[in-house]
Structure 1
Amino acid sequence: MKEIAVVANEQSYADFIKECLTVYFGNQAKINAYSAEAVDSMPYIREKYIAISGFTVFKLIYDKIKESSVLQALRFTMSKAQIDMLKDLPSGEKILLVNIDNRKCMEVITQIYEAGYKNLDLVPYYGDESTRDMSIRVAITPNEMQLMPPGMEQVINFGERVLDVESVIELAEKMQIDGIFNSEEARNARSSAVLTSGGVTKLLGENENLLDQIKALMELMDDGIILTDLMSQIYLANQKAKSMLRNRSEFIEGFGISDILPELRMGDDSRRLKASEKLISVGGVNLVIKVSPIFSDKTKRGNIITLRSFDELEDQQHSIRSRISGTRHEAKYVFEDIKGISPKIIEVIESARRIARSDAAVLITGESGTGKEVFAQSIHNASTRSRYSFVALNCSAIPENLLESEMFGYEEGAFTGAKKGGKAGLFELAHKGTIFLDEIGEMPLPLQSKLLRVLEEKKVSRIGSLKLIDMDTRVIAATNRNLKDMISEKKMREDLYYRLNVLPLQTPSLRERKEDIPVLLNHFMAAMHGDWKYSPKALEMFCGYNWPGNVRELRNAAEFLCSLDKRFVDIQDLPDYIHQVKNTMSDHRYASQPEMGEYQTNLKFLLREGRKFELFEGILTVLGTDLDKHQRWGRIRLEEALAVRGFEFTETEIRNGLRLLSDMGYIKSAKGRGGSRMTAAGSELLEDIKRLKHVSRS
């Protein structure tokens, strides 16, 4: 036989519920009654079906419930006999409704009003003498006489409320038991109960097809959906709502909404006729919860409660803003798109990766064409804001009189020519993402003041509006100008400069990383689907050019070569402006190549010691870092420096490499602990190694 465990706070109340259930289930189920204290001494509740008197009990016994158990929260209502006991109460006179807490008071008051006694002015009382209206002399209670205040002239104790028939039916359905109303006693119990808990039940419960359709529809909704009756008891909830509220309770149907979400403060729900909305944190997640009344035939039947994740709402707003603007604000570059092998560019990339982990403002400085926006996009895509917009604004490309409206937006009618309906500014579009302010040094001083205020207050207001809009946007600014000089010239606000320059990043010019030129050329060639080879002289001329336009100019040169549609590129194929500066190549360190005889000597040495090619490159690279300081490197210090740079050589290999380089005059090694330093010939050898590597790659 199937067994039911009935659990209540007090044993006497559990026994009362057992008697009520026995009327319906008779000999079809064995019913056992327990107090919450008795359950606490058990390892677990052995019965599969558990009927509990309320949410408080559920919390007390939660750890004793097995995963396979089936739970039913019981609801209670008033019998017709109990309602009849109230018929002689004075109309319009204040009457105390005495119960254990405010929610239980309001539950009973709602049932009394739904039974037709709306003429009674019932006032909840649950033991707080400090707030009691001492003029009230009449009180009623559902068997909570221990809380009855003194001085009452008339008291009606209408006794424990009876079981709501609907919760009995729900339990029978879960147990797959039919015929619970077959006995005369059960039929009498059903007919004697006043169906006051069923605002929603009246609307849906009598039509199973409609109920099934509504359940299916609720599951299709993206939001969490809860239906409650007039007493704020949860009648239905979809899986999304249950998932959102799992941190509050694994089981919610049948409980009062105030048990699960006390922040809503439903109060006398029968009188709540307008929708309300509230932001509540549940398990660390912010939920926007809206309570809307349900009406049928102009009569309130209950509430529909929608739960939406605040973060999901912001994501939707972000998507809508982007669609309204008609532009996809996306960052396409990542750090892997920044090509180069030079220590200079590698160091800057690593700094930028660290910056991406922060959320502070960034100021990128560097010459025109060095890839400041590529770095800005890469920082955005490596940050926690990568799911949101990357909005770029060139402060010099927009006329001064339009720049403010582009940045902050405007309301309809704010100025002549303002778009109907207004327009969101770029800061709004960048909400939760990143805004990139390129050429920040070109921003007019008055607008700099407004930008500073926006950055400090994290709020923005459209032109023509007094409304402040919260803003969560990371700012990355960039410039090719010397902002400190501009501060001295009163063209840049000093406070804005320091507000932006929290995390500085300097992009290197191409002449500072000439060893990257062949790498970049090959990258551009592949991007343009080209396929050509360079002569050594052509590559040498490329590397000797000053590149005032930096990487942008180099890309243009690659496009020029691609247009030639040649398989082999020689000196005469290079753009004219590179030929015009060939006589100045000796001014640059990369162009300081050895004479052809020295080059042949170096080449023979490298060919002879080919297996040590990488070893020589590593040693000379490290020794070359302090060349201008005329410092000497000891072998242990050299070994540590090589390891840091990714070169893995044994102590013996390093010692042999130093000996070979010293024998050829590429380094000078002092005796004992004097250390080693690179000679001019060593510098030339290192340049030849780099050139050979690049030529072999091309």
Structure 2
Amino acid sequence: MVKQVAIVALDPRASAFYGNQVQELFGEYVKVRSYSVMEGTISNMERADLYMMSTDAFDNREEVPQYIPIDAQISEIHVTYMWETIRRLRTIPAGTRALFVNMTEKMVREATATLNQLGVNHISFIPFYPGAEPVEGVTLAVTPDEERYVPQGVEHVMNIGHRCLTSETMIEAALKLGLEELLETPRFQEYFGNVVTSTYNFDMMFARSRRLESQFDILMEILDEGIIGINERAEIFAMNKKAEEITGLKRSLVLHKQASSSLAYLPLLQCLKSKEKIEPKVIRINGVNVGVTVVPVLRKDDCIGAFAILQRFNDAENRQHELRNQLMHKGYRAKYGFDDVVGVSDGIERTKQILRRMAATESPVLLIGETGTGKELFANAVHQASRRSKGPFVAINCAAMPENLLESELFGYEEGAFTGAKKGGRPGLFEFAHHGTLFLDEVEGMSPALQVKLLRVLQEHEIMRVGGNKIISIDVRIVAATNESLEEKVQDGSFRRDLYYRLNTLPVLIPPLRQRGDDVFLLMERFNSGLKGNFVLSDEVKDLFLHYSWPGNIRELRNLAEYFSFTGSPVITVKDLPPTFVYENREMKDGQRESGKAVRTAGPEVPGGLEPGNSETSVSEAAVSDRPRSCHRPEPWQQAMEERGMEPEEYWFVLKVLYQCTEERKAIGREGILECAKKEKFFLSQIGVRTILGILKEYGLARVSRGRGGSRMTCLGREIWENREEYIKPYGIL
């Protein structure tokens, strides 16, 4: 319904101006009629919903009832200036004398006083109105659209226009007309921004209140939890969209109503009465488990309201998962897939086919292979090919850190769990890997105590942080890797049998580089390109590579590629090989086989008593040869070595070390043998030493004890070593 508004002013021009302002601002919601006391149109004034009257309309307030009904709504008109007017007046030089011209002395005094309140104090205003004494020597006049009263002889006139209605006047009119919703419209907001107000503090408080209310509404909507608020009378005053989703209720139906009528299942009244926080509890709402927390709003000792915080269990878990993904700053992402595995050999192709099928399952995968064969690369690929590919991929080397540090890394810890623990605690890698894959490299290095905890994780899918007392459910797939024989670890008691069978669900053997044929050259090309090298291998070097044992596997090959990129040779020949590369002289192989001598590069002493450098051939001229194993009948233990891929140099080196230690009446363990090899710069792997010792034990050449008992050579082994020439000669390494 259109509201009727009557504007009453002394001057008809002012009345019409005020009426136009109200009509433009309220638009189609009001119909405005303007009346003037001076012209007498006030006598024919029609009934209105609101009478807006200027302060100068009547000389005596007792005259008002003659024209306006006693029971009518009356709003007094207050006027001010626009900001544009103030800016114009501030352009006048300070100290300027100017006439201020208006209809009456009272109007002049009111207008200039308002300007002074608004900070226009740099102009010396001289009041002028009809009947005022003339003023000499003043060349500037300022007037609110009353140029008709400006005296003759004034050179410059600044017409600042009629004063406009204040923001307070417009707000009061809107409230009395019941149109307060218009105050939020762009039209009113623009008007309030253009009008100067003398009630600065009130405007600031009003704006702050509106701003806080808006911020509260925004905050309510961006929260992931449902929020419901009640006041001190237990009436619902706030409810966000998330709460609507959880409860299934429309806020328009519950706002301003008692919480006990529509949300009786929430302990809001209990919190309001007790003035204490209601700790999280589970409530089933619409068939869904919801965590509910209620907190009171206290002002001094009074409880003036309460808020209920609702969160569905699934939402909480998804949010935790998103936060875990945001903690991927450590690079907990798989970087490689099966397409990144370089190689076309039968062994590597079969490995990829098997692992692709295994990736589709949820069972643990055990990658078995020598050091440098690319076990972590395959672990990345398994993750990328699984349904967990969008989740995190977390890798850790179990043998690289002490037991207590490994435990806190895997399981996390609570605040104060140990000296140096971070404030607030820290999630473990199992939590980081939630909904993803955890790669445990060198899993055989895990202590027995940690093996028990890992077994429980695999069985129960639950963990507990170090120093904590809460069970945390996790969903993690395990991919483990080892370069040792876990079967032997189980036999000697250093690895739990039940954990072994848990991890050994899907075992895969990664083939060593020496069994991959031409893959060596494909990998070399890849490394050459990645290192921005510009070299090619000569046919002679290619032949060497095909018959080399590659104890360091792909890692050793990459080191060679990096070395070649610094030689500056476009074609890599035998002379360009690094001094640590061990091989036989290809050019002199026939003569060496006859004389029983061979050349090795700088490094280990050659089994059989030949010291490095005894040959007349230089190191740079050496090369690997095909050994004529068909020209002799090896002993059964030698044949077993060949079948397991052991080179003669490797097992004769182990025999030499065992013989030397036996002569000194002491035993030696695997680590001791590896240390001897390292000192003599001889390449041996842990798996290689274990394999050789196992065969020597099987054929009675050595006694191999569990734990720290070490290994010793038997009488049969001593006899073979002391008559080694007849065993070594057919291989051309004497």
TM-score, length basis structure 2: 0.45
Q: Which structure is larger by alpha-carbon Rg, 1 or 2?
A: 2
TM-score, length basis structure 1: 0.47
